[in-house]
Amino acid sequence: AGGAGGRGRRRGRAVKEAIYAGTFDPVTCGHVDVAERAAHVFGRLTVAVAEDPAKTLLFPVEERMALARESLAHLDNVEVTSFSGLLGDWARARGVHTLIRGLRAFSDFEYEFQMALTNRKLAPDIETLFLMPNEDFSYVSSSMVREIASLGGEAEKFVPAAVAEALRRRLGPR
């Protein structure tokens, strides 16, 4: 019983599936860590790679999906797909009511908080849960990885091996 009044459940059912969405350009060790954490909490996790035409991206969506699949292949309850449009609408169409967002540092909080509240207004039946990556990855961002790789730095310290190779192919040695 307890005093939670059914919180943590949606209309009498335990939450079983979540969506972890992002551009993943490229997927980093921090993304993998957050996906692993979410995959341990939920029976099924969909990693949704955004087809984001508003951003200038290094990798096309098909390659970002392939890199995410390879990086997350060790998780048997994870599916990688792409989406476009409003995430809340896409999640609702799939029957999923939980979104996962990673928080690396306090500097992420304001943006993520704003996005979560906007999503709540647009899709009040969908909850956002924040997960923190291992502190070893709390400072790693895709934009930092792209900059390091473009300047000839060792990106493999921050990304899975397949992603490091894709960065070398895309950017060449510097």
Report CA 86 to chain centroid distance, whole Å: 15
Residue 2 pLDDT > 60: no
CA distance 91 to 44: 13
Q: Where are the extended beta strands (E) located within the chain?
A: 9-10, 13-14, 17-22, 44-50, 78-83, 98-102, 127-131
- pLDDT tens-digit profile of 14-30? 569 999 999 999 999 99
Residue with tokens 């390659």: 63
pLDDT of residue 52: 74
Residue 28 burial (C-beta neighbours within 10 Å; 0-12, 13-18, 19+): buried
Catalytic residues: 31, 55, 104, 142
Q: Which two tokens stand for residue 44?
A: 């099924």
Quick check: 138 pLDDT over 90? no
What mean pLDDT comes out for the span 55-77? Answer: 96
Question: What is the model's pLDDT at position 14?
Answer: 56
pLDDT in the model for residue 173: 64
pTM value is 0.86
pLDDT of residue 174: 55
* Res. 5 pLDDT band, cuts 50 70 90: very low
Give the DSSP H/E element, type plus range, for residue 134: none
**Residues 6 or more apart whose Cβ sits within 8 Å of residue 134:** 30, 33
Tell me the per-residue pLDDT of 105-128, one tens digit each, with 9 for 90 and over.
766 788 888 888 888 898 899 999
Region 123-140 average pLDDT = 90
Quickly count helices (H) and strands (E) in the chain: 6, 7
Mean pLDDT calculated for residue range 79-103: 95
**Backbone dihedral region for residue 170 (phi beyond 0: left; psi -120 to 50: alpha; all else: beta):** alpha
Report pLDDT for 29. Answer: 96
For residue 148, pLDDT over 70 is answered with: yes
Sheet holding 17-22, edge to edge: 78-83, 44-50, 17-22, 98-102, 127-131
Give the pLDDT confidence score for residue 112 in this predicted structure: 82
What is the predicted pLDDT for the residue at 140? Answer: 87
